[in-house]
Chain A
Amino acid sequence: GNSVTQMEGPVTLSEEAFLTINCTYTATGYPSLFWYVQYPGEGLQLLLKATKADDKGSNKGFEATYRKETTSFHLEKGSVQVSDSAVYFCALPSGAGSYQLTFGKGTKLSVIP
Chain B
Amino acid sequence: DAGVIQSPRHEVTEMGQEVTLRCKPISGHDYLFWYRQTMMRGLELLIYFNNNVPIDDSGMPEDRFSAKMPNASFSTLKIQPSEPRDSAVYFCASSLPGQGLRGNTIYFGEGSWLTVV
Contacts and interface: CB of A to CB of B under 8 A. Distances in A.
B111 interface: yes
Given A89-B43, A100-B45, A43 B101 contact: no
Given A42-B110, A43-B110, A99-B50, A51 B95 contact: no
A96 B101 contact: yes
Contacts of A105: 42
A18 interface: no
Contacts of A113: none
Interface stretch (A27-35, A69-77, A78-86): A27-35
A98 B103 contact: yes
Contacts, number: 65
A98 B98 contact: yes
B8 interface: no
Contacts of B109: 43
A100 B45 CA distance: 9
A103 B43 CA distance: 7
A26 interface: no
A98 B98 CA distance: 7
Contacts of B101: 29-32, 93, 96-97
Interface residues of A, number: 25
Given A44-B91, A93-B98, A106-B43, A100 B105 contact: no
Interface in A42-96: 42-46, 49, 51, 89, 92-93, 96
A101 B110 contact: no
Nearest to A42: B110
Given A31-B102, A105-B42, A99 B110 contact: no
A42 B107 CA distance: 12
Contact of A51 (B102, B110, B111): B102
Interface of B: 4, 31, 33, 42-43, 45, 48, 50, 55-56, 91, 93, 95, 97-98, 100-111
16 contacts: A29-B101, A31-B103, A32-B101, A41-B110, A43-B4, A43-B91, A43-B93, A46-B106, A46-B107, A93-B103, A97-B100, A98-B103, A99-B104, A100-B45, A101-B103, A101-B106
